[in-house]
Amino acid sequence: MSANAHAGHDSHSHSHTDDHAHGSLRSYMVGFWLSVILTAIPFYLVMSGVIENKQLTSIVIMAFAAAQIIVHMICFLHMNAKSESGWTLMALLFTIIIVVITLSGSLWVMYHLNANMMAGHDMSQLP
Amino acid sequence: MDLAVKHNTSVEASAFYVTDEHHAEGGSTMLGFWIYLMSDCLIFAVLFATYGVLGANYAAGPSPRDLFDLRLVAVNTSMLLLSSITYGFAMLAMAKGRVGAMQGWLVATALFGLAFIGIELTEFAHMIHEGATPQRSAFLSSFFALVGTHGLHVTFGLIWLSTLMVQVARHGLIPANMRRLTCLSMFWHFLDVIWIGVFTFVYLMGMLR
């Protein structure tokens, strides 16, 4: 009885991991071609300099990178809300929060530090 | 009163002791490996932040515009993307139990990975030859730290890949090997995700400065 239950559980858990651990040919091909497009466009934008405004170009290529990261997560890493009863998504969301805090915090603080320490910035006002 | 306390403790004790808790061997490996990848993600976040802060401090040395060749980076990016898709095909072959096809796709993955490492090392050698060493400026220190760490990850991925190919050749597609191959697949795709950040944040945005 117990062995039976074990085997049942085993085969269930196996098919369970099979479902999203390997994905399908379709998901890999969709992911690949989307990645090719989402890579080619930012390279084209920077190499040809179609958009005059550099700041706008950076925002556009960062949007393409974010889109491609999402494509990779879904098509290649098979992320979804169900795998491991949602714990992979939880870990990912937690990591994203920490990454955003680390990046934006470091850039923000150090930018202001640089701006305020710049020689000649406001020297005449100093006593 | 005494009875009530006794009753309470027995209820709590039974709540902790779950008899039918059973995990198949390796059942939690995927989640554990995912959490490792997330912690690796934090390492890269810190390196990206360092590069973001120091990336414009050239110390009168070379700037990204002088050093980077975007065509080479584009080739490198395609190498890594192709290795990702061939690894995906290997996983599909593994799911169907076709060992030969799987090993073939793994060889293709390894070759694309080697091409990536080769191109990256050529780029590094070229930069160092021109005097753009990690010691030259804060920009170059943070550049080599970030891109070098990614390259090291790919190198270790290649070592792991060849080890697993030997394992599969010796023991076949046993559950343990399938589990390891799935872990490596997550690792490999994860490195491709990091590379998206590298080519966007370091190379493309470096050229825009």
- Cβ(A75)–Cβ(A30) below 8 Å: yes
User: Which residue did the predictor score with more confidence, B161 or A18?
Assistant: B161
pLDDT band at residue A123, thresholds of 50, 70 and 90?
low
**Mean pLDDT computed over A23-49:** 94
Instruction: Give the residue from B201, B60, B50, B70 showing the smallest Cα distance to B132.
Output: B60
Query: Is A34 in the same domain as A75?
Result: yes
pLDDT band at residue A115, thresholds of 50, 70 and 90?
confident
Interface of B with A in 36-95 (CB under 8 A): 38, 41-42, 45-46, 48-50, 52-53, 70-71, 73-74, 77-78, 81, 84-85, 88-89, 91-92, 94-95
Query: Environment class of residue B14 by beta-carbon count within 10 Å: exposed (0-12), middle (13-18) or buried (19+)?
Result: exposed
Has residue A31 got a pLDDT over 90?
Answer: yes
pLDDT band at residue A14, thresholds of 50, 70 and 90?
very low
Q: What tokens does B201 get? A: 């944040």
Complete domains list, chain B, with CATH: 32-208 (1.20.120.80)
Has residue A110 got a pLDDT over 50?
Answer: yes
Q: What percentage of chain B exceeds 90 in pLDDT?
A: 84
> Residue B60 — left, alpha, or beta (φ > 0 → left; ψ -120 to 50 → alpha)?
left
pLDDT band at residue B21, thresholds of 50, 70 and 90?
low
Which residue in the set A23, A39, A98 is minimally distant from B88, CB to CB?
A23
Q: Treating both helix axes as pointing N-terminal to C-terminal, what angle do A54-71 and A25-48 enclose, rounded to 10 degrees?
A: 170
Residues 6 or more apart in contact with residue B77 via CB below 8 angstroms: A39, A43, B195, B199
Task: Classify residue B68 by its DSSP letter.
Answer: -
Query: How many other β-carbons are positioned within 10 Å of the β-carbon of residue A68?
Result: 25
Question: Alpha helices, DSSP H only, in B17-137?
Answer: 29-54, 64-67, 70-95, 99-129
Has residue B179 got a pLDDT over 90?
Answer: yes
Range of the domain at A112: 85-127
> Buried b vs exposed e over A26-51: b needs ≥16 C-beta within 10 Å?
ebbeebbebbbebbeebbebbeeeeb
CA A98/CA A105 separation, integer angstroms: 10
pLDDT tens per residue across span B49-70: 999 999 989 999 999 999 999 9
Query: Is A17 in the same domain as A75?
Result: yes
**Mean pLDDT computed over B63-90:** 95
Query: Is A91 in the same domain as A69?
Result: no
pLDDT band at residue B107, thresholds of 50, 70 and 90?
very high
Q: Over chain B, what is the mean pLDDT?
A: 90
Task: Classify residue B137 by its DSSP letter.
Answer: -
Among A79, A94, A114, residue at a domain's last position = A79
How far the first Cα of chain B sits from its last, in Å, is 76
Instruction: Give the residue from B191, B146, B193, B150 showing the smallest Cα distance to B51.
Output: B146
**Mean pLDDT computed over A20-25:** 70
User: Which residue did the predictor score with more confidence, A116 or A5?
Assistant: A116
Query: Is A113 in the same domain as A58?
Result: no
SS (H, E, C) A73-106: HHHHCCCCCCHHHHHHHHHHHHHHHHHHHHHHHH
Q: What is the ipTM of this complex?
A: 0.84
Q: How many folded domains does chain A comprise?
A: 2
Query: Is A11 in the same domain as A50?
Result: yes
* Residue B84 main-chain phi, psi, to 5 deg: -65, -45
Question: Closest approach of chain B CAs to the CA of A33, in angstroms?
Answer: 10
Residue recorded with tokens 């060493």: B133
pLDDT band at residue A121, thresholds of 50, 70 and 90?
low
Residue recorded with tokens 């466009």: A41
Which residues of A fall within a CB distance of 8 Å from B88?
23, 28, 31-32, 76
Are the beta carbons of A21 and B85 separated by less than 8 Å? no
The widest CA-to-CA distance across chain A, in whole angstroms, is 87
pLDDT tens per residue across span B35-52: 999 999 999 999 999 999
Q: What tokens does B122 get? A: 């050529």
A100-104, B14-18, B53-57, B120-124: which range is least confident on average? B14-18
Query: Is A104 in the same domain as A74?
Result: no
CA B165 from chain centre, in angstroms, equals 18
Query: Is A65 in the same domain as A117?
Result: no
CA B21/CA B194 separation, integer angstroms: 37
What's the pTM?
0.84
Query: Environment class of residue B46 by beta-carbon count within 10 Å: exposed (0-12), middle (13-18) or buried (19+)?
Result: middle
Which residue in the set A47, A77, A99 is minimally distant from B70, CB to CB?
A47
How many residues comprise chain B? 209
CA B187/CA B32 separation, integer angstroms: 12
What is residue A52's predicted lDDT score, i.e. its pLDDT?
87
Query: Is A64 in the same domain as A125?
Result: no
Query: Is A62 in the same domain as A115?
Result: no
Query: Is A31 in the same domain as A73?
Result: yes
Instruction: Tally the C-alpha atoms within 13 A of residue B140's C-alpha that lie toward its C-beta.
Output: 21
What is residue B17's predicted lDDT score, i.e. its pLDDT?
57
**Mean pLDDT computed over A63-69:** 96
pLDDT band at residue B100, thresholds of 50, 70 and 90?
very high
